[in-house]
């Protein structure tokens, strides 16, 4: 299923999505189902499949999932622009069955203002991804920023608040989200038109993580993008001279960053 997680900035929506993804990373039954399907494909024509993933979690940001007694699980890095069926315009990801895909800042990739250019090869993928037992989680500040074709296929989770508990050393040891779950786009539209007051549109529940989810990902992973294109410039105010160490790692990160709109992604749709 597609689930859109929404809330204002800095309220824990990406953190919640990461927690849900970490649970998938240690789901042995799901992992085994994925691996058996890929082994079956190896025997039936997909001879170039050499790598069998160790878990089902993918994301457009890096996650290192932790669980006591298990080795860490590192998510597969994907570019949401490259989700879709094979086509002549854009090289797409080869998704595996039972994959769980997390997309943060979903409005960038599924921009409702660009709906008339939304590629058919990706639109059809979102319409049919369930046949490959794939789950997609998308976080955004406002669901209306997400393309209407995707919204109509989705369920919704609104984060109402996040409470943190600390240990004796002052470190986060427990997290609790109060959320509202909305089953489909019709109920979401009714919920929003009521000013979020219609209780018949949602169920309210608490989601608990008995660990520090912030330690599993970098909540400021988009920060280097603010510096791209300015590496040879100085600030336009009088500041202390920056040292090399202050930008350590940024240059290498930007060289490897595959998060840009590929050529020919948006194609104007032809009239029937």
pLDDT classification of 65: cutoffs 50, 70, 90: very high
> Which backbone phi and psi does 228 adopt, to 5 degrees?
-60, 135
CATH of domain 2-256: 3.40.50
Overall average pLDDT of the 110-117 stretch: 82
The percent of residues in the chain predicted with pLDDT above 90, rounded, is 64
pLDDT for res 255: 57
Structural domain spans, the chain: 2-256
Overall average pLDDT of the 132-150 stretch: 92
pLDDT for res 238: 43
List, as one string, the DSSP characters of 25-84: HT-HHHHHHHHHHHHHHHHTT-TT-----SS-EEESS-BEE--TTS--EEPEE--GGG-S
């Amino acid at each position: 299923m597609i689930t859109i997680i929404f809330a204002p900035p800095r309220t824990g929506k990406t953190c919640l999505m990461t927690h849900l993804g970490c649970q998938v990373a240690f789901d042995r039954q799901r992992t085994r189902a994925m691996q058996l399907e890929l082994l079956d494909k190896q025997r039936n024509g997909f001879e170039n499949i050499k790598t069998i993933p160790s878990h089902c979690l993918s994301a457009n940001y890096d996650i290192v999932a932790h669980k006591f007694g298990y080795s860490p699980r590192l998510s597969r890095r994907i570019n949401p622009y490259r989700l879709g069926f094979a086509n002549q315009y854009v090289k797409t990801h080869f998704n595996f069955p039972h994959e769980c895909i997390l997309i943060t800042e979903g409005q960038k990739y599924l921009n409702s203002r660009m709906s008339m250019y939304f590629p058919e090869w990706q639109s059809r993928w979102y319409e049919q991804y369930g046949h490959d037992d794939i789950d997609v989680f998308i976080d955004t500040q406002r669901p209306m920023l997400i393309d209407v074709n995707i919204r109509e296929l989705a369920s919704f989770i609104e984060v109402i608040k996040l409470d943190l508990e600390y240990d004796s050393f002052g470190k986060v040891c427990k997290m609790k989200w109060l959320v509202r779950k909305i089953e489909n786009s019709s109920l979401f539209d009714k919920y929003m038109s009521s000013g979020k007051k219609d209780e018949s549109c949602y169920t309210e529940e608490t989601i608990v993580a008995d660990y520090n989810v912030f330690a599993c990902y970098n909540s400021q992973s988009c920060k280097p993008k603010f510096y791209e294109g300015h590496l040879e410039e100085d600030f336009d105010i009088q500041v202390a001279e920056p040292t090399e160490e202050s930008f350590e790692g940024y240059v290498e990160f930007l060289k490897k960053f595959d998060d840009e709109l590929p050529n020919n992604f948006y194609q104007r749709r032809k009239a029937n």
